[in-house]
Structure 1
Amino acid sequence: MPIPPTAPKHTRSLAREDVYRQLSTWIIDGTLAPGEPLRDQDIAAQLGVSRTPVREALRRLEDEGLVETALNRWTRVAALRDEQAAELYPVVEALEVLALQLAVPHLTEGDLERLRDLDMQLREALHHRDARGAVEADTAFHDIWITASGNRELQQTLRALKRKLRRIELAYFNAASCGEASLHEHAAILGALRAGKTESAARALQANWLGSLRRLEHHVTS
């Protein structure tokens, strides 16, 4: 059977997406640090692809604010910007409060126990200064009501936004005092949910996001 003439184009498309996903993951999880140089030839050799999909991926990442360039001089991982956190946190907060309000009628006792367990994981990660583990536990904690909201558009929007937040969250949980404060705020959210007080839980969630932003800004400027 002859190979369809569109196959090479499809392969290039897959390669471009694979390169983009790999580079964005390396940047978001901190494997590639802020300010680190990005040389398309080196990346292409490491990933076993041509330079074209690498260049396309870098342009896409620049559009997303994860990469910055100076024409004909350098390309590098973008620095963390205070204003990005200030822009993202209020948006995520508002959408999460909506998700929580939608989720409350559907939360089970198992969900509440899972929230407690995830808070214990967060406490353990903070004790061991494991920022990545702390981010994963914190993200999973918030994801309980995002999933239970049952609104797929809301879920997809929040997860895309929180992917952008991951680099910021890693910096946040590298500061032990920031993480300890989050534990107290999580306890308030869980306590309100156990008591069936939806509005109190929503206010506690708002306080968690607002407090996190204030502590992050203080940590960055101190």
Structure 2
Amino acid sequence: MPVPRQSASPQRRLLRDDAFTAIRAAIVDGTLQPEERLVDAELSEWLGVSRTPIREALARLDAAGLVRTRPGQYTIVSPLDTRAMTDAQGVAAAMHELAVRDAVPHMGPEHIAAMRSANERFDAALHDADVDAAIASDDAFHDVAVQLCANQAVRAVLDQYSPLLRRMERARFASSIGRDSVAQHTRMVDLAEAGNAEGAAREARLNWLALTWDSTRGD
């Protein structure tokens, strides 16, 4: 059997992945606004890469639900679609519940301390109305269990759906309702420290299902 040809050089894959990561981040943080038209030439100039990795990145973002493409006509940043957010929310809640249930039996004092520290940073960021810091510290909090559970499927699913939810989180953490998450995080850590995997997993699921979205701002 002949050796298959390599589909893309390592450098090309790197450029494609870098473009995907940069554009995705700009969509999630609001730099690229919902329904904003994306032009290959402008993105190429912004990122300093050719149009080929830009087009490949946009195809991946389309599959992830972050952009909408009509071939030969336009590519836009996806509107804030309430149904898509709700679907992603249910999937993420189930994945985080599974991650916490599997992780708690393996948690040591260092993991509990890391979660408490992240929650303290989260609380401070909400107090300062620093949405970027709030999202980063919330990610750090939940990532302790995701990494410790060592379930590659959980990570893959969350990598696909988390960007959609982070767009929702930006709106939530900019309001006072985000403070409810601090108390939920605290309960989760207390249960985890006590070795109550089921209780901590339940709190993780409820925490993600507590994300709310104003449907008047969606599709």
> Which category describes the TM-score, using the shorter chain as reference length?
0.7 to 0.9
- The alignment's TM-score, normalised by the length of structure 1, stands at 0.83
Corresponding residue number in structure 2 for 1:44: 44
Counterparts of residues 1-222 of structure 1 (less than 5 Å): 10=9, 11-69=11-69, 73-175=73-175, 177-212=176-211, 215-217=212-214
Looking at structure 2, the residues matched to 184 and 93 of structure 1 have their Cα atoms a distance apart, in angstroms, of: 17
Of residues 195-204 and 71-80 in structure 1, the stretch that sits farther from structure 2 once superposed is 71-80
Cα offsets for 1:56-104 (capped at 9, x unmatched): 3323322322112456554321111111121011111112111111111
Larger Rg: 1
Looking at structure 2, the residues matched to 12 and 116 of structure 1 have their Cα atoms a distance apart, in angstroms, of: 41
C-alpha displacement at 1:181, in angstroms? 0.8
Of residues 147-156 and 105-114 in structure 1, the stretch that sits farther from structure 2 once superposed is 147-156
Looking at structure 1, the residues matched to 152 and 73 of structure 2 have their Cα atoms a distance apart, in angstroms, of: 43
SS of the counterpart of 1:216?
coil
Number of matched pairs: 212
Looking at structure 2, the residues matched to 50 and 19 of structure 1 have their Cα atoms a distance apart, in angstroms, of: 10
In structure 2, list runs of 5 or more residues that go unmatched.
Answer: none
User: Identity over aligned residues, as a percent?
Assistant: 34
In structure 1, list runs of 5 or more residues that go unmatched.
Answer: 1-5
C-alpha displacement at 1:220, in angstroms? 5.0
CA distance 1:161–1:65, change in 2 (3 Å): closer
Looking at structure 2, the residues matched to 121 and 20 of structure 1 have their Cα atoms a distance apart, in angstroms, of: 29
- Contact 1:178/1:216 (CA < 8 Å) preserved in 2? no
Looking at structure 2, the residues matched to 128 and 67 of structure 1 have their Cα atoms a distance apart, in angstroms, of: 31
The amino acid across from 1:60 in the alignment is R
